[in-house]
Structure 1
Amino acid sequence: MSTGTPTPLLRGASLPLAEQLAQRYAQRIRERLLAPGARLPSVRDCARQHGVSPHTVVAAYDQLQAAGMVEARSQRGFFVRETRPAARAPAAPTPPVTRQAPMDATALIRGMFEADAARSPGLGTLPADWLDAPLLQSALRRLNTGDAQAVQVSYGDPSGDLRLRHALVQRLGDLGVHTRAEQLLTTHGATHALDLIIRTQLQPGDAVLIDDPGWAVMFARLTQAGIRLLPVPRARQGAPGPDLDVLARLAAEHAPRAYLTVSVLHNPTGHSINLATAHRLLRLADEHDFFIVEDDSYGFLAPEHLPRLAALDGLRRVIYVSGFSKVLTPAWRVGYLAASPERLHALTDTKLLDGLTSSPVMERAVALCLEQGRLRRHAQRLRERLAQARQRVSALASRHGFAWGAPPDGLFGWLDVGVDTERIAQPLLDAGWLTAPGALFSVTREPGSLMRINMATSQDPAFWRQLRACADDLRRPAMSC
């Protein structure tokens, strides 16, 4: 038995093997470890992984289908049933769009909350022990002194704590984004900022360009709002950044309203765009009259010299979004956006209707962390630690025969494991490793051999041995039973 074999089923038990197997998958579906739309292992793969005959697997899948938990799709296999009805098919031909969220985004978020960082190479955040607890504690203590006490007994400014916005003007200036406090709006994290933009600047039926691969939660939010998604390939054929030839064609054919993108340390590939790409992208936005949402959530983990679209554009067509959860603490839900005065007025109105204001207490605490350069120094230490982690992870990947789909940078690496990563995710989960298959980041949930690797949580050699064993198992002929 290889190290990739899951906990064996109990032979000779009162419960038949098929029923044991069905219960195992049913539990995963109920716990959302298998999200709606996820593909179950093929009958042959499942039989090999669990050491049973294909007939046993077929019987187990039939039980799950009878219980309404999975569905069989002709020539494709068995899939977890979707919990939402598919959108009505359009009457006329449309661009390549999603009819429903390509995965249950809540399952992805729940996994982020429940994951054990030490066993989660697919985690999307830094582990807790990488964060600076003394920095947070110092900021909280200072909240109880001087004028900081006043923010604890008021709603606060709808635009956000003024002291934080002044600190953000300095932060953005360091990135080349020259703005004023009046052009900044604080939010409950970067995700809330993106949500405000979708609800304020877009309408159902609008076409929107979006990175593919990209962030599944954003795919789900846009689809829920009735937006048509135009996938722009990212990191294809080794070229960093979006495929601008495809983007130009889609823009000419479908007149998109916007483009949502991550220009620096893209999730999941780790790519950052260069100046030439940034300039051409902004020219295309002018030519086809769409605005750009630049999500810079991982910006603190990148060198400040990397080009930001907002810096080159002057916030004319670009809305800049960022936050502090990735480097400070996810517990303080503080994000912000920077935009032109015309856009900011409408966005502020939506924020007021959404929840009046954001937390002045947490915003003042973040301002205190930014002041005197303490957060900057913490971010520098994180960048240095990540650089060391990337060296170790790259060495482990190479030692076990894996290659990168793109040169790793920042927190993430886009690893090519040579087999379908949705198929390999199940035996890895059996062995206790939570991974992030590439299909999770695909607008169309296209299967492939790529997976996102978190550099901070993938340094255990045991994971790489397990990954190698599981990949080799999938390449072997089916076992005879």
Structure 2
Amino acid sequence: MLMKASSQSLTEQLSARFAQRIRDRLLAPGARLPSVRQCAQQQSVSPSTVVAAYDQLLAQGLVEARKNRGFFVRESRAEMPAGAPAAAPEHRGTAAWATATGLAGSSRHAPVDATALIRGMFHKVSNKPQPGMGVLPPEWMESTFMPAAVRKVTSTRALQEFSLQYGEPKGDLGLRRALSKKLATLSVHAAPENIITTVGATHALDIVSRTLLRHGDHVMVEEPGWAVEFARLNALGMRLLPVPRRADGPDLEVMAKYCEVHQPKLYVSVSVFHNPTGYCLSPGSAHRVLQLANRHDFHIVEDDTYSHIAPEHATRLCALDGLQRTIHVSGFAKILAPNWRVGFLAANPALVERLLDTKLLGTLTTPALLEKALALCMEQGQLRRHAERIRTRLDAARSRSVKLALAAGCTFAAEPVGLFGWVDTGVDTDALAQRMLDQGYLLAPGALFHAQRKPSTLMRINFATTQDASFWKKYSETVRSM
């Protein structure tokens, strides 16, 4: 709260608060600040204090005033990723096509900044559980077997052997063998030589993009989808083609139109426990997606980040396709050890060497120490048992969180499964997120999950961090006051 007894004036405190949020990307370029009257009510200050604070932000070049519309975070071209393209061009056909693709009447604002939630992971806004976070609470992932595995692989002799030379280009062979066995349980058959370890799953996605794409290529992405992937592809100069994601899979008619008009080179998909909806791909939809890929000659990268908490029998494009046009990507940050940064990709033998070249140009090799420790955890069954405990705990947390969300007046836009809930609040969640930030809660508003910024009443919640009744009480009070 703003403090009257502070050495700073209320105006200076308010201006500093907004300035810090803008610099931390908690207020993204193009975001609208509360109106003077709204802000005065929220902060319990006079309208003149708000006007003076906004004037200071204007003087610092952080916001701009738009006549009869209010104050907006300034969109500086210097802050935009180099080569970031405009949104995908509208099809020359009907208005229905434009509506289906989400392009009708779309604004040209910059996408919601994907770094907001990432920064929140490293610089917590408070010590409260954070509903918008994309990871499990640290205490859920604590174990004794991981430190024991590290100690075992770092005996004096072993440490000398693999520390004084570069590791294997594709990654530790023991880990790749363990991954091959793990993938076989998902009906994804990949020999160890067709697996490449990476610095997390995001690095794997980046390797695929840098190998298969060139500046200006069209890439189909699911919408809603994960903002980090949108921002990463934008930064590489790709043209995003948002495909509406439905309960059984992507909108195949929209995909077919994109293929005819734009000849996309890649489709990025989360088939199982899709982020943010939790949807899982149906076999029929998967079959038709693969038919499109073969007919129009594009690759598919399947991000299976949530495989550790998902059913093994869930439909995966990589399993049906046999890694012909598909590339499997996953990692261990969500279930085991975020800071170990161990991920991997599995691909067709014809692509592996090209993907490996890209890895070598970016990181040379990946650290063998933690890869060897992870392989040991997998071989001894400790990772499997750990994942089973997490799933049981998450099921209980989800049940509690859903009850609290419904009692607070929310509805679920998708069946609550997996780690995330896709919740309809009935209010603008961009505005809600800013109000809740004042209470110490970082939300993930719906606009964050669109390739182009658009108002939304939806938000993504993490079931593991929304079991706190005090959060939902504060949420309800805030919604009622909006």
TM-score scaled by length of structure 1: 0.90
Among 36, 39, 49, the residue aligned to 1:43 = 36
Residue 393 of structure 2 is aligned with which of 385, 388, 399?
385
CA distance in 1, matches of 2:277, 2:127: 20
Query: Does the Cα contact within 8 Å between 1:421 and 1:451 map onto a contact in 2?
Result: yes
- Amino acid in the other structure paired with 2:139: D
- 2:112 corresponds to which of 98, 103, 108: 103
* Corresponding residue SS for 1:448: coil
Deviation at 1:290, TM superposition (A): 1.1
Q: Residue 139 of structure 1: which of 139, 149, 152 is its match?
A: 149
Deviation per CA, 1:281-334, whole angstroms, max 9, x where unpaired? 111212222111101111111111111110000001101100111111011111
1:74, 1:173 → 2: CA distance? 60
Q: Which residue of 1 aligns with 2:97?
A: none
Q: Which of the residues 201, 224, 235 maps onto 1:213?
A: 224
CA distance in 1, matches of 2:89, 2:410: 41
Q: Relative to structure 2, which stretch is displaced further, 211-220 or 103-112?
A: 103-112
CA deviation vs aligned residue, 1:252-273 (integer Å, no higher than 9, x gap): 2211111111111111112111
CA distance in 1, matches of 2:345, 2:127: 29
The alignment status of 1:70 with 2:63, answered yes or no, reads yes
Q: Pick the aligned partner of 1:278 from 263, 286, 306.
A: 286
Equivalent position of 1:128 in the other structure: 138
Residue 436 of structure 1 deviates from its aligned partner by 1.0
Q: Please, which of 343, 351, 369 is the counterpart of residue 351 of structure 2? A: 343
TM-score (structure 2 length as normaliser): 0.90
Alpha-carbon distance between aligned partners in 1 of 2:456 and 2:84, rounded to the nearest angstrom? 28
Q: What secondary structure, in the 3-state scheme, does the structure 1 residue paired with 2:459 have?
A: strand
Q: Which moved more, 1:79-88 or 1:322-331?
A: 79-88
Judged with a 3 Å threshold, the aligned counterparts in structure 2 of structure 1 residues 75 and 174 are, in CA distance, closer, same or farther, namely farther
Q: Does 1:112 align with 2:112?
A: no
Are the aligned partners of 1:148 and 1:364 in contact in 2 as well (CA < 8 Å)? no
- Distance of 1:220 and 1:409 partners within structure 2: 26
Aligned: 1:34 with 2:27:
yes
Give the 3 Å change call, closer, same or farther, for CA 49–434 of structure 1 in structure 2: same
- Asked if structure 1 preserves the Cα contact closer than 8 Å seen for 2:24 and 2:119, the reply is no
Please tell me whether the aligned partners of residues 118 and 457 of structure 1 are also in contact (alpha carbons under 8 angstroms). Answer: no
Identity %: 55
CA contact (8 A) 1:230 1:250 kept: yes
Once residues 63 and 37 of structure 2 are traced to their aligned partners in structure 1, the CA distance between those partners, rounded to angstroms, is: 17
Q: Which amino acid aligns with 2:342?
A: V
Q: What displacement does 1:41 show?
A: 2.2
Q: Please, which moves more after superposition, 17-26 or 335-344? A: 17-26
Query: For 1:370 and 1:456, how far apart are their aligned partners in 2?
Result: 24
Q: Distance in 1 between matches of 2:108 and 2:325?
A: 28
Count of paired positions: 463
Match of residue 194 from structure 1: 205
How far apart, CA to CA, are the structure 2 residues paired with 1:252 and 1:388? 46
How many angstroms apart in 2 are the aligned matches of 1:176 and 1:73?
A: 55
Partner of 2:17: 24
Q: 1:399 aligns with which of 390, 399, 407?
A: 407
Corresponding letter in the other structure for 1:109: I
For residue 327 of structure 2, give the secondary structure of its aligned residue in structure 1: strand
SS of the residue aligned with 2:216?
coil
Superposition map of 1:35-434 within 5 A: 35-54=28-47, 56-73=49-66, 77-82=70-75, 84-85=77-78, 102-115=111-124, 118-145=128-155, 149=159, 150-235=161-246, 239-434=247-442
Note the C-alpha offset of 1:88.
8.4
Alignment-derived partner of residue 94 in structure 2: none
The CA RMSD measured in Å over matched residues stands at 2.5
Q: 1:15 to 1:174 in 2, by over 3 A?
A: closer
Residue 110 of structure 1 aligns to which amino acid in structure 2? R
Distance 2:351 2:404 in 1: 47
TM-fit CA distance, 1:38: 3.2
